[in-house]
Amino acid sequence: MQLIKKQIFLFLSLIILGITLQAQDIIIDQVVAIVGGNIVKASDVELQYSQMRMQGNIKGGDNAKCTILENIMFTKLMLNQAKLDSVVVSDDQVESNLEQRLRYFIAKIGSKEKFEDYYKKTTTEFKDEYRNIIRDQMIVQNVESNITDPIKITPSDVKKFYDEIPSDSIPLINAEYEIGQIIRQPAISKAEKEVVKQRLNELRERIIKGESFSALAALYSEDPGSAKRSGELGLFGRGEMFPEFEAAAFNLKTPDEVSNVIETKAGYHILQLIERRGDFVNVRHILLMPKVSPYELQKAKIYLDSVLTIINDSTMEFARAAMKFSNDPSKNNAGIMVNPNSGNSKFNAEDIDPSIFFAVDKMKVGDMSKPMLMTDADGKQAFRIIYLKSRTSAHRANLKDDYDKIQNAALERAKSEAIKKWINSKIEKTYIKLFDNYKDCKFENVWVKK
């Protein structure tokens, strides 16, 4: 079962993540397998093998190459079935996915120019090279979803799964925390907002009169990521930015056209069109953020001091106080924070923001901190009270404390079994040929009947 969970998309994902090898010459290029109407070349296997060696995931040996080949054959089998079932993805979906990946790589390396210099190709050449790879990956994901989405498990399935784990193999669960917060975001005065809008309108007038938008963005924009690139954001599609920002960007018609001042959750912006390409647009922007006055910030602290007194006097529970007094979305979850990595309320120590962990590490369960200064995701200052709802010690997994984790593991096994069953049924009906190079491989599945 080891093969199933991680390996279905290994071929495609490694090519995308391991593009640093593209400058190397892979000279081996012969067909080593055929799956339906799809061929697998030796160079496909060698490329992945080299990538995994570089990442330290393989120490060497032919067995690793056999495993890689089987991963690729799984992918080809799914692509073959997708063709038979007319599973397709639209050009717009592919372009959106490709743009997201490209932005990821550019962000990692620092800028579009650095990206192109490092890989010795333009972003357009990069997209042309990987467009079909991305399309195949998305098709394979759709095929896998069709297999696994209907899979459901019951509580009795979860218990059976747990009971089947050998006692010496039950996983160790790290110490975990559940943390609540009550946040008071100070109001920003109308006067401060007007000052910021006036500053942006002045910058807009300077641009209209001939000054460089790029230069002014680099000097004045408070978006640190794009300011380093003279305000440029790169191509994006609909649904990726704040709605107001998106509307302004797509309303710009001609290159170098500058928008009026717009407001989003992040602050105030002006935009300049760089280019439109189909359903995608690239703009520069200058962001200015209204600042909270020291007076309003102090008022927020005093407000939370009063809330803390109410809770400590036992006239109100934390959950109710969070819903009543917090002006952060976490109030809708009774103030309990959600771990973005897991989607639930449990945090390992390494998942907790250091400023929060420094407070909770010294607290007992049920304790609350004094109001603490914080900076939110939009760069705005606020105060918050931290509450330690629960803390568990490191322990062996059990159904009482770790039901969600065991349930997820049981569901993953059920999905893996469904995929394995699907693979075996399709192998029976699909033309598959292995060439001499890999005929002695010990695969998990019987790809060629004797």
Break the chain into its structural domains and give their ranges: 2-153+409-438, 173-186+293-395, 190-288
Whether the predicted pLDDT of 232 surpasses 80: yes
Q: What is the pLDDT of residues 258-292, one digit of tens each?
A: 999 999 988 999 999 999 887 788 999 999 999 88
CATH number of the 190-288 domain = 3.10.50.40
Whether the predicted pLDDT of 322 surpasses 90: yes
Q: Would 173-186+293-395 and 190-288 be classified into the same CATH topology?
A: yes
C-alpha to C-alpha distances, 381 to 183, 196, 340, 378, nearest whole angstrom: 10, 17, 21, 9
Q: Could you tell me the pTM of the whole model? A: 0.61
Of residues 28 and 398, more confidence is placed in: 398
pLDDT of residue 57: 64
**What is the architecture of the domain spanning 2-153+409-438?**
Orthogonal Bundle (1.10)
Fold entry, domain 173-186+293-395: Chitinase A; domain 3 (3.10.50)
- State the average pLDDT over residues 336-364: 90
pLDDT of residue 4: 39
What 8-state DSSP symbol labels residue 58? -
What band does 98 get if pLDDT is binned at 50, 70 and 90?
Answer: confident
Whether the predicted pLDDT of 217 surpasses 80: yes
pLDDT of residue 377: 76
Residues 132, 91: Cα–Cα separation, whole Å: 10
Alpha carbon 58 to its chain's center = 26
pLDDT of residue 13: 47
